[in-house]
Chains A and B, each alone.
Chain A
Amino acid sequence: MRRVLLLIACAMLAAAPGAARAETTPAGSAALFSSLERSAGGVNTLSSDFVQEKHLGMFKTVMSSKGRFYFGKPDRLRWELTAPVASGFVLKGEKGRRWHERTGRSESFQISQEPVMKLVSDQLFAWARADFSWLKSEYRITVLNESPAALRLEPRSAATAGFLSHLLINFSADGRYVKSVEVHEKDGDFTRIRFVNTAVNKPLQADLF
């Protein structure tokens, strides 16, 4: 379950060149992944707004929230929810900090001592590096569409497969950033995150992290 959220957060970090050819053979997938890896090498910063829609059975209606996302190469990340409540976290190397508007407090943590955050950072940075060899070890990746790129990820481990059905990741038309991520759970619930106003390699303020 934890990996699901991480993938959502980090999938958008992947930048895909729009010139990828539409092939679904293993060789074609490998070429697409290589292309994504090469393109990611040129991404130094990302910033984007996002809208999160939770289609959960325990809610009467779809619960929407929105926020902002920042990434700075090699190991800085900010995930910030702005509505309906303000909360979020920052990762910087091995250290992290989280805050909640409700409590008015922020707290520091070591990523390695927080299993959830460890998974977050592992996956985020794997995506930032477009480390497909690692992602392929965790998920079976199917190329649904090459241009714009669309991937379906199914967990390999039985433990993860116990609650996660699959991820759907859609890239922008030019392939430089992720447009949306869908996390489908076993019980039919799913979450969709749409990234908008994405900026690549735009200078980020240092105090963001």
Chain B
Amino acid sequence: MPVPSFTLFERLYRFLSRHRRALYAVTLLVVVLGAFAASRARIQEDVVAMLPDDGSNVDRDFRLLQLAPFTRNVVITLKAKDAGDPGALTAAADRLAQALAEGGAGKVTTGPADLSGGLFGWLGSALPNLATGDDLARLEAASAPAEVRERLRRSYQRLLSPEGWALKGSIQSDPLSFSAIALEKMRFLNMIPNMRLVENHFVSADGRSALILIESATPMTDSAASRDLMDRIDRAVASGVPAGMSATVLSGHRYTLLNAETIKRDLYVVLTLSGFAVLAIYLLFLRSWSAFFVFLVPSSILVVASGAIALSQGSVFAVTLGFGGVLLGMADEYAMLIFFYCRQGGKDPGTITGEVARPVLFGAAATMISFGVMLMSSLPGQRQLAVYSMIGIVAAVLISLVVLPHLIKPAPQGTLPLGNLNPGWRLPRRPVLALWLVILALCSWQATKVRFNGDLRAINLVSPELRQAEEDLARTWGNMRDKALIFAEGSDLESALGVNDRLFARISGRFAPGELVSLAPLLPSAARQKENRERWTAFWGEGRAERLARELAREGDALGFSGAAFAPFLATLTAPAPAATVEGLKEAGLGELVDSLVIRSPGMVRVLTLVPDTPQLVSALSEELKALPGVHLVSQSRFGDTMGDAIIRDFSRYMELTSLFVLVLVVALFRKPSRILLVLVPVATGLICMFGIMGMLGLDFNIFNIAATILVIGICVDYGIFMVCRLAGESDPAASRAVLVSGLTTLAGLGALALARHPSMQSIGITVLLGVGAGIPAALLVIPALGKKEAP
């Protein structure tokens, strides 16, 4: 039977056989240039690689989540082993804070700004701007004669007590404690649930821990700078924490550092182990010096693909490089096919090249389609991965079909190593098919259990120490970081505050005291303040101020107060009150709070409200807030769900398109339905087993598994094509040998990835290992078993 041939490659072989030195020189030059470019690549390790950059809500939500208070802070919990000496704790916190500041860690805070100066005065003076209708009703009650008597007596007695020494001024300006109404509004600014102030320090409810916050200019995505920052902090902690106390440091920088260092270690381990494993397989199965050139093919591809990405995109995502291990394992299949056919001999190398070009190009086309679909991804990391893989495949095809045939000599008598290793023809057909069907049925059932996990934290490494520190932080301080965020947005501060007013009015009734963090009660919009002031003026202008003055004079006289004692207070009832402003709040000592809740960006001001992040609440609020223009709610829990949905959507689209395109390609190439089905056996088996075993083991399907699935499709379709596209009928050992050995090298590469500690690499490794691990026996055993019936 004549073997279909691509004469282009046959002719190319014959032409280049006369210019081999130039061919080798050009190939070497390309590889060297690729290595040079790759060596200058900037490796990007952050999560940006896996965030959509299409302006979608997912992207926006992720960026908004980064605006949450404390997200950008380094949080240090200083804990005393024994409770009972708050003074020692706060003193130690001060010493550590000083060591941190001197060490250049950043702006260090151990407590709020000194509130004793202006806060209470500010609250009192701002009351006319802040008082709601309900507040005025309370003032009405507080102005009743009996209440005035009681409150004034209380102030009088406080004046005589030791406390009174500190309170003379405030009693004079507010003898009836009206400003308590404004003070109550402070409860909406409690961002650390289990915190209380001790000597103006953040101290936990149990009195054993002090909180230290560091505001650092170091970007969390910069691993080198993060290393420097953490070193500074660790040094300060080592020198500044006294015996009997311990400090726990938490920050995004620590996560960045852990992930970056783990990825670097993984890269080293993966590339080293996969390299050695592939070499060992070559030595076992190829046993020829010319196998060295086959070994060089994937290495060269890795270099060329990395260099091309570095040249075209400047920076390379670390996960893309990690994927190089996989590519190293899979890209040798074309070279392997060339190798075995050339070693088998029997024809001149040019003819062999032309004949082998067909399955190689078919397989490469199917794999290119699989990766090409990934170019449509909204995730930059996945797109780069697609480009990287496609460059690698093109390079693999070119090197395999153009360069390699010149380097491989036929084996003596055309005998291949381990010639008796040909399992597909020795196993009985029926048991093989029965076992295959049982496995497919079992895996199809288990595949339904696979869960999709879109939480980005699932693909980040979290060490046990960091997890413990997170738990300790939540236990000590309450849920201070995992809050749902509601942004009131406007083109300027006033419009954002206006939206914030409406938001607060809408949702405040839902929450118990302390659950809601909002600026609205203390910083309403100017329009709302004007409204409040007018209501205040009208309230006191209806004769109430005069009545209160008379009541106060009578009761004061009875207690010995002079007639003018409370003139400052009475003046505030009718005098114009200065507006409550951001600047005023800052001067009153609430600057840091305001800065964390008012976020300015070019052309936009966002005022932040925090609520508990529970799925039910977030879901209900999402619906309710649709009616409020300019309000945007984001939550970590909902973000995870949204990402999960996006993954499912992306994955479904990939699967549909890849399946369609690959099917069209296979149909176009093989035409006969039975042969088409045979080609698809490894890929179908690989996918079903991959999902089935993942379901069985309780593994989630995350964002990296999409790339893994594409890889399974690309590789397994190649195996089907190789097995069905035989050159010399069913007994052709070269195709089986190529599938077996390239499959083993793929598994070696993937096996190394499974050893990675980083969840993203491990995800790729484990899941592709399952898919390809199932695809190989399906190609080697099931296709021949089915093919016997199919063969005429």
Contacts and interface: CB of A to CB of B under 8 A. Distances in A.
A binds B: yes
Interface of A: 1-2, 4-6, 8-9, 52, 54, 56-61, 63, 65, 79, 81, 84-85, 87-89, 94, 100, 102, 110, 112-113, 115-116, 118, 120, 159, 163, 183, 189, 191
Nearest to B175: A58
B561 to A, nearest CB: 6
Interface stretch (B16-24, B155-163, B305-313, B694-702): B155-163
Contacts of B511: none
B197 interface: yes
7 contacts: A58-B565, A60-B561, A65-B160, A113-B196, A115-B200, A116-B162, A163-B169
Contacts of A191: 165
Contacts of A81: 160-161
A159 B117 contact: yes
B84 interface: yes
B616 interface: no
Contacts of A163: 169
Contacts of A113: 86, 196-198
Given A63-B159, A87-B160, A110-B198, 11 more contacts: A2-B166, A54-B160, A58-B168, A58-B564, A59-B561, A81-B160, A85-B160, A87-B157, A115-B200, A116-B162, A189-B168
Interface in B126-176: 153-154, 157, 159-166, 168-169, 172
B207 interface: yes
Interface in B371-398: none
A129 to B, nearest CB: 15
Contacts of A112: 86-87, 90, 198-199, 203, 207
Among all A-B residue pairs, the 6 with the closest Cβ atoms:
A5-B165, A112-B86, A58-B565, A2-B166, A112-B198, A1-B166
A120 B84 contact: no
Contacts of B420: none
A81 B162 CA distance: 10
B85 interface: yes
A84 B160 CA distance: 9
Contact of B162 (A5, A56, A59, A100): A5
B565 A94 contact: no
B160 A59 contact: no
Contacts of A52: 160
Contact of A183 (B165, B169, B565): B165
Nearest to A85: B157
Given A94-B84, A102-B154, A60 B162 contact: no
Contacts of A102: 153-154, 157
| Secondary structure dominating the interface of A | mixed
| Secondary structure dominating the interface of B | mixed
Interface string B762-779: 000000000000000000
A120 B162 contact: yes
A100 B160 CA distance: 12
A60 B116 contact: no
B330 to A, nearest CB: 65
B163 A116 contact: yes
A63 B87 contact: no
Contacts of B153: 102
Nearest to B86: A112
Interface string B660-703: 00000000000000000000000000000000000000000000
Contacts of B157: 85, 87, 100, 102
B207 A87 contact: no
A54 B172 CA distance: 15
Contacts of A57: 562, 565
B166 A5 contact: yes
Contacts of B168: 1, 56, 58, 189
A58 B162 contact: no
Given A52-B160, A113-B197, A58 B169 contact: no
Given A1-B165, A112-B207, A116-B166, A60 B199 contact: no
Given A60-B561, A61-B560, A63-B560, A54 B159 contact: yes
A125 to B, nearest CB: 11
Contacts of B164: 5
A39 to B, nearest CB: 25
Contacts of A54: 159-160
B202 to A, nearest CB: 12
A60 B560 contact: yes
Nearest to A113: B198
Contacts of A115: 116, 199-200
Interface in B557-580: 557, 560-562, 564-566
Nearest to A101: B157
Contacts of B203: 112
Contacts of A85: 157, 160
